Amino acid sequence: MAQRKTAAVILAAGKGTRMKSRKPKVMHALAGRPMIEHLLASVRAAKLDRAVIVIGPKMESVAEAVSPVPAAVQKDRLGTGHAVLCAKDALKGFAGDVLVLYGDTPLLTTETLRRVMAARRKGAAVVVLGFEPADPGAYGRLVLGPKGGLDAIVEYKDATPQQRAIRLCNSGVMAADATLLFTLLSKVRNDNAKGEYYLTDVVALARKKGLPCAVVRAPEEELLGVNSRGEQAVAEAVIQTRLRAKAMENGATLIDPSSVFFSADTRLGRDVTVGPNVIFGPGVTVADEVEIRAFCHIEGAKIGKGAIVGPFARLRPGAVLGKEAHIGNFVEVKATVIEAGAKANHLTYLGDARVGAGANVGAGTITCNYDGFLKSHTDIGKGAFIGSNSALVAPVKIGDGAIVGAGSVITKDVPANALAAARGDMRVIPGWAKAYRERKKAEKAARKKGS
């Protein structure tokens, strides 16, 4: 028998008033990625056949972020049941199950989604994902029958004291046959304390028809809804814990895991060592046997095998480090390729440049890449040596094996194996310093006497 198809309907029309932001709630980031994208990643991994996202008016940014997933607009926010009905046209002709999810619940795992779908395929007409929070608070309660099936979902405001004592709560996640779901939703009424059309009423309507309903349980952590900045911080902590565990399971050493922050797309190779207080922004790939020392900030960078970074280094987007390259303390690299074995060990800025294999860039060197209007390129050849406190004014090329004397300002190309030194001639005037001090002391004493 062919496996039934499943479509996800993701509700994301909430304004997120408590976030106090101009951005739609689901566009707030967790681990460097909008929270809606975390949920979509779990949906893709579960290999669902289709997805539709329900958004509110003027939420084009959400539609763009989830593209090519189609978006349906809920013009009037009349409750969760009404929101799901807004996706009906987008699913026209779809035969299979519908899994209703929430864009502000980004911590759901693929495994949990699969368990919900499996319960639906075992025969339950409607499957609801439930959980037992430490504090049930104002969550809707799941009322079970004598055989453990789901009899009803009761919203907190409509619950009796006995029902409020139930600890099994409704997450909002639900699975049902598409035809049945939309048929039941068409019969839902809004005669309740909030005057809304509740998706949860589907369970009562299904039970009236004698159809079996079931509950799948999940950890409270997965069902955290993000409605405020505080809840966003809690969700960030959960995701970071997951990412740290994954990194270590895959062969990386984190010296102080709790102080390392990852982005969702960070990729670490095996035998990578990460020191304390390292931050990975989006777009970072790290090869095997790399050492990243304490207090580094890395974003949009690719780090080659055996490279050493830090401490206190900053790799900005476009930084590419070759095999066994060294980027040391207080070095910033942006849009620059550091080839195999090249070194910039301290106090250096390298932007819009190439540093050839085996080259050495001395302390205090900067590539002067911006003239106030345009960025220009600096090319440092293989095996070149750049003396400390040098300024390389782009566009400029330092040839293979060339040496730039310390303190130089280089404005012209330097041929291969040449020496370039651009600084004023040194003068030595014997006794000048002593005479200067005596003159200044006398001047200071005269001023003091005159006052």
Show which residues are catalytic: 346
- The distance of Cα 293 from the centroid of its chain, to the nearest Å, equals 22
d(CA 36, CA 27): 7
Q: Is 394 exposed, middle or buried (0-12, 13-18, 19+ CB in 10 A)?
A: buried
Instruction: Using alpha carbons, list the distances in angstroms from residue 397 to 321, 377, 382.
Output: 20, 8, 11
Asked if 407 contacts 392 with a C-beta cutoff of 8 angstroms, the reply is no
Residue that has been written with the tokens 């993701």 in this structure: 10
Give the three-state DSSP class for 184: helix
- The distance of Cα 197 from the centroid of its chain, to the nearest Å, equals 34
Please, where are the H alpha helices in 311-404? none
Q: Which of left, alpha, beta for 107 (phi over 0: left; psi -120 to 50: alpha)?
A: alpha
Give the three-state DSSP class for 84: helix
d(CA 109, CA 281): 23
d(CA 215, CA 416): 73
Asked if 152 contacts 143 with a C-beta cutoff of 8 angstroms, the reply is yes
Residue that has been written with the tokens 């009322």 in this structure: 143
Tell me the one-letter amino acid at 175.
A
CB atoms under 10 Å from CB of 229, counted, come to 12
List CB contacts of 196: < 8 A, sequence separation 6 or more.
78, 79, 80, 81, 82, 190
Beta strand spans in 192-301 (E): 213-217, 253-254, 267-268, 273-274, 279-280, 285-286, 291-292, 297-298
List CB contacts of 369: < 8 A, sequence separation 6 or more.
351, 352, 353, 375, 376, 377, 378, 394
On the CB side of 274, CA atoms within 13 Å amount to: 30
